[in-house]
Amino acid sequence: MFIDKGLYFEIEEFSKYGIRAIYTTVDMGNFQEEEARKKAIETLKINNEVIYTGHQTHSENVTKIDENTKNYIEDNDGFITNRKDVVIFTRYADCLPIYFLDLASGAFGCVHSGWLGSYKEIVLKTIDKFGFEYETKLENLLIAFGIGISQSNYEVGLEFVEKFNSKFTKVQLKDVFLEKNGKIYFDNQQFNYNILIEKGLKENQIIRNNLCTFADKRFHSYRRDKKESGRNAAYIFIDKDEK
């Protein structure tokens, strides 16, 4: 579950393993601006030199961070690493952050999954990358959904529904779409949960939440604020006391 710490929320289950999985509030700032990043660095006591981020394009591209990786990656929507000095930083304004931790190897990561990233199954591609790079086994994964827009505020059109129906099964789409008062709503978190369960993860390996960026003004939301919207940030890194 997320613990409210004012300037940010933190995932309790990751903290137990010495991993800080953070999602910022509007009080931390707008992460389109340098001032918010400086405030986060100071608040979270992290080293700016080991922050890795990139240009998010709603792709399925996930980068493994090693000693040769640049701090900024173009056309990239996620990172994984086993380096203890790395801080992963991604931005959001309704899309879903998904945090990963391999309890056996200590490798961790985070991906940006808007509807298009979800459609491209970036969460499953990230799991496969963990397996390839770190020999991660499914039973050793802990996955947490960050804070995104909830189903009740995520209205979509019929073409959107047909796009998902043409690719995914009824089991994968169970409870994903809600029809109400002539409108259709999409549950991004539920969709990713369904495909993770089908992949073989157990319910107790997946951490969910009921928070919503659109409904809760503690968070930036593009759907709510349009062009005036700022960006929230997700950070994941090893607690310095655990290194």
- How do residues 9-64 score in pLDDT, each as one tens digit? 999 999 999 999 999 999 999 999 999 999 999 999 998 889 999 999 999 999 99
Backbone angles phi, psi at 20, to 5 degrees: -95, 115
How does the average pLDDT of the chain come out, rounded? 97
DSSP E strands, the chain: 2-4, 8-11, 19-24, 51-54, 63-65, 72-73, 78-81, 87-92, 96-102, 108-113, 141-145, 155-156, 177-180, 183-186, 206-207, 232-238
Model pLDDT for residues 171-211, shown as the tens digit of each residue = 999 999 999 999 999 999 999 999 999 999 999 999 999 99
Mean pLDDT across the stretch 103-123?
99
Number of helices and strands (H, E) in the chain?
Answer: 7, 16
What per-residue confidence (pLDDT) applies to 11?
Answer: 98
Domains of the chain, with CATH numbers? Answer: 2-149+207-242 (3.60.140.10)
Does the structure show a pLDDT above 60 at 243?
Answer: no
Strand order in the sheet with 96-102: 63-65, 78-81, 108-113, 96-102, 141-145, 206-207
What per-residue confidence (pLDDT) applies to 214?
Answer: 99
